[in-house]
Amino acid sequence: MSFDSANLREPRSMKGKVKWFDAGKGFGFILPEDGSADVLLHANVLRAFGQGAVSDGAEIEVLVQETTRGLQAVEVLKIVPPPMPPTTDMAEVTDIDAETLAGLALEPARVKWFDRARGFGFANVFGKDGDVFVHIEVLRRSGFAEVQPGEAICLRCIDGRRGRMAVLVTPWEAAISRGDGDPAA
């Protein structure tokens, strides 16, 4: 595929919300807050930010570039997860205040398996025995739509009624680059 690079403009910053993203297809679209046309978000651009997927409805700030096929995100600058809906099953997670959450240790982990249809999966924290339960609502609250087996992530965990469970998931790269694991920092 070729195009005339003379028609391309310099990248510019844009804010919006994720309309939808399908990790299987490798792309999705952003609804710009200024009401302009949808912006293509390719999986490679998202992976460069440290995530393999993003939740529908997440606020996102990206650099966009006009191409012969329309606007495309070329770099993700920030993702703010959508609000977590209240659920009785997740009371242990939703009852944690921001200060307590920030005080929990950031633990490097690897996804063991995750089933989006079932709404949960498990991860293994490096150097520790046992699995950590990862609920899909925690992923959504953290800005992820899903995670893949073998993916490196960081977790903040609590000891719940049924064992260790993640209360926050961050991209591995974001934790390394920001030092504290808080992708919103």
pLDDT digits (tens, 9 = 90+) for 28-45: 999 999 988 999 999 999
Tell me the pLDDT tens digit for each residue of 92-135: 565 677 788 778 888 999 999 998 878 889 999 998 988 999 99
Domains and CATH numbers, the chain: 5-80 (2.40.50.140), 88-178 (2.40.50.140)
pLDDT confidence band for 90 (50 / 70 / 90): low
Contact 60, 76 (CB under 8 A): yes
Task: Annotate the chain with three-state secondary structure.
Answer: CCCCHHHCCCCEEEEEEEEEEECCCCEEEEEECCCCCCEEEEHHHHHHHCCCCCCCCCEEEEEEEEECCEEEEEEEEEEECCCCCCCHHHHHHHCCCHHHHHHCCCEEEEEEEEECCCCEEEEEECCCCCCEEEEHHHHHHCCCCCCCCCCEEEEEEEEECCEEEEEEEEEHHHHHHHCCCCCCC
Q: Does residue 112 contact residue 120 with C-beta atoms inside 8 Å?
A: no
Q: Are 61 and 46 a contacting pair, CB within 8 Å?
A: no
Determine the average pLDDT of the residues in 71-85: 84
Contacts of 118 (CB under 8 A, 6+ apart): none
Do residues 144 and 54 lie in contact, with contact meaning Cβ atoms separated by under 8 Å? yes
Q: For a pLDDT cut of 90, what percent of the chain falls above it?
A: 38
